[in-house]
Amino acid sequence: MVRLGQNFLADPNLLRAIVRDAALEPDDIVLEVGGGEGVLTRALAERAAAVHVIELDPDLAEPLRRVVADHANVRLHWDDAMSFALDGLDPLPTRLVSNLPYSIATPLLLRTIAELPSLTGWTVMVQREIADRLRSAPGSRVYGAPSVLVQLACEVRLLRTVDPAVFVPRPRVGSALLGLERRGPAATEPVATFVREAFAHRRKTLAGSLELAHRGAANRVRAGLRELDLSEDSRAEALSPQDFVLLWEKVRGWS
């Protein structure tokens, strides 16, 4: 199981806490990525109208199929969540509740925010470092493109920190339960690309980093920063998520 980046929850008290923190309604459609041995799946199935489980590891077929046998509202999808056609889920999920495989946690969250506008909330177990990064504020050393892109669409809250002892096998890193509530649409692809390019060279100013991606962009970026009453020598980590959107509106159109 470790080879797929997944550690299984072994504490029933924590499982109950996850379901409680998810605050599911009876008509919610839940997406769980990385069903593991199905212990969280069972708890979710008892609270929600339906549960979609995406699992990659065929060694988990037996325990997960036992869950399906006991809960007719659970639907298994044997696939890689990073390539699976999420918009083909029927019915479309309204909440994502998962003990996420740590190796895909950040890209998976960004993908579900962008590709599943039906999702209104996420309750996810992630590596503590990822939780800190996604909720970090401008100026933090861990604030980066994922922080901006998640915060443009969602309010991000740390729900609880989690001791490694509650997992089997025990991970070498701390974990955290993270809550996201959608407050708007995902960033458009041009804005998302702009944000990633802005952070691509953190030691350079924002204008300098974007100049490397778009020749001749630096002067336009500096002018845009001045119009926003920001220093033209600002680095990417100094801008708030909304600042990036406003700056993009001013500099868009370069070739």
CA 179: distance to chain centroid? Answer: 10
Domains delineated in the chain: 2-182 (3.40.50.150), 189-251 (1.10.8.100)
- Could you give the C-alpha distances from 38 to 75, 122, 237, in angstroms and in order? 12, 19, 40
Which residue in the block uniquely carries the two structure tokens 């001013």? 250
| Cα–Cα distance for residue pair 160/173, rounded to 1 Å | 15
The CA angle 178-180-183, to the nearest 5 degrees, is 165
Of all residues in the chain, what percent are helix, strand and coil, respectively (each to 5)?
A: 45, 20, 35
| Cα–Cα distance for residue pair 227/232, rounded to 1 Å | 10
pTM confidence score:
0.93
| Cα–Cα distance for residue pair 173/127, rounded to 1 Å | 7
Strands (E), the chain: 8-9, 29-33, 50-55, 74-78, 95-99, 121-127, 154-162, 167-168, 175-182
CA 91: distance to chain centroid? Answer: 21
What pLDDT does residue 3 have? 42
Q: Could you state, in chain order, the average pLDDT of each consecutive group of 10 residues for the chain (255 residues)?
A: 60 90 97 94 97 95 96 97 97 97 94 98 96 97 98 98 83 91 97 97 96 94 97 98 97 74
Other Cβ atoms less than 10 A from the Cβ of 21: the count is 16
What pLDDT does residue 165 have? 80
The CA angle 93-128-3, to the nearest 5 degrees, is 75
Could you tell me if 125 and 151 are in contact, meaning their C-beta atoms sit under 8 angstroms apart? no
* Burial degree of 10 (CB within 10 A; 0-12, 13-18, 19+): middle
Sheet containing 74-78, strands listed edge to edge, beginning at the edge strand earlier in sequence: 74-78, 50-55, 29-33, 95-99, 121-127, 175-182, 154-162
What pLDDT does residue 5 have? 54
* Token pair in block for residue 112: 């579900």
> Which residue type occupies 220?
R
| Cα–Cα distance for residue pair 99/115, rounded to 1 Å | 20
What pLDDT does residue 253 have? 74
- Could you give the C-alpha distances from 87 to 113, 116, 123, 181, 223, in angstroms and in order? 12, 6, 20, 19, 40
Does residue 137 sit in helix, strand or coil?
Answer: coil
What pLDDT does residue 173 have? 83
pLDDT in tens, 89-130: 999 999 999 999 889 999 999 999 999 999 999 999 999 999
